[in-house]
Structure 1
Amino acid sequence: MGLFDKLGGSLAQGVMGNMNEVSVDELTKDYGSYLMDGETIQLGFRLIRDVVLFTDKRIIDFDKQGATGQKMRVDSINLSSIIHVSAETSGFGMDDSEINLTYISSPYYRASGGVTVAEKTFEFPKKYNIQPLYKRLQEIAYENHENLNK
């Protein structure tokens, strides 16, 4: 059995730029110290060394850097800042699925001079059904949109 067989294809998926789901228990053990009090992991994915967590409060992106991966950048997107979600499902061949988020990156969501937005794209393996995650994120974006425009 070769290295590729032992990895179950996760290395190939990682090289192609998409993530594999990881158990909440494993993620909590490895990344629980980054959670806020009362925050819980709902879902998480690994891309070779990098990890993305979806919690009940935010999306946390762990970007391991350097040859050893000891240096790490941690970035968060508060769920309350998400204002638009789009998805692209996988097609034929090597296509993967994507979820694209637009979120308010400025500290004030109702700034009189306007707000700053940013975008983030998450790629998923062809076999992963993104529809439930897309639906939940879209529900969040809709609720945020309604609250901002009251």
Structure 2
Amino acid sequence: MPNEKVTTGFKLVRDTFVVTDERIILIDHQGVTGKKTRIASIDLDSIYEVTMETAGTGFDDSELTIHYITSPYFKANNVSTAAYKFEFGKKFNLQPFYVAILTLATQNRKRINA
């Protein structure tokens, strides 16, 4: 979008996402060949909860799940929500990104519930 600035981006196990100053852009490669691509975005202002699961022993990957509001009005009676799970490689240090998104989610919860 015009005047939107990219802050960081990640290539995951199968997918890619880009973080801007306004939203997270998801690039989801679908199907066996990965030729079909779905692009979606999550507004940073709509994120209200984040969970992290670190890699264990063996072939486990780290996971970050972002819970966000999909309703156009955050303070409506029937708020719709969704979650998106990001899978990172085992050697990726997920903690700095988790702390940044968790800080944002905490600020959003306080703003929405004020």
How many Å separate the matches in 1 of 2:68 and 2:13? Answer: 26
Aligned to 2:37: 72
Matches of residues 34-45 of structure 1 in structure 2 within 5 Å?
A: 36-45=1-10
Q: 4+ residue runs of structure 1 moved beyond 3 angstroms? A: 47-50, 64-68
TM-score, normalised by the number of residues in structure 2? 0.88
Match of 1:144 among 105, 108, 113: 108
Match of 1:88 among 53, 76, 79: 53
Q: Secondary structure at the match of 1:109?
A: coil
Greater per-residue strand proportion? 2
Greater per-residue helix proportion? 1
**Closer, same or farther: CA 38–65 of 1 in aligned 2, 3 Å:** same
How many Å separate the matches in 2 of 1:68 and 1:139? Answer: 33
How many Å separate the matches in 2 of 1:55 and 1:77? Answer: 10
How many Å separate the matches in 1 of 2:109 and 2:68? Answer: 11
* Percent of residue pairs identical: 45
Question: 1:48 Cα shift?
Answer: 6.9
Q: Secondary structure at the match of 1:93?
A: coil
How many Å separate the matches in 1 of 2:64 and 2:15? Answer: 17
**Closer, same or farther: CA 96–48 of 1 in aligned 2, 3 Å:** closer
Number of aligned residue pairs: 113
TM-score, normalised by the number of residues in structure 1? 0.69
Which amino acid in 2 is paired with 1:77? I
Q: Contact (CA 8 Å) 2:52, 2:64: kept in 1 or not?
A: yes
Gapped regions of structure 1 (runs ≥ 5): 1-35
How many Å separate the matches in 2 of 1:48 and 1:133? Answer: 16
Which amino acid in 1 is paired with 2:40? D
Aligned to 2:89: 125
Task: Pick 1 or 2: higher relative contact order, CA cutoff 8 A, min separation 6.
Answer: 2
Aligned to 1:53: 18
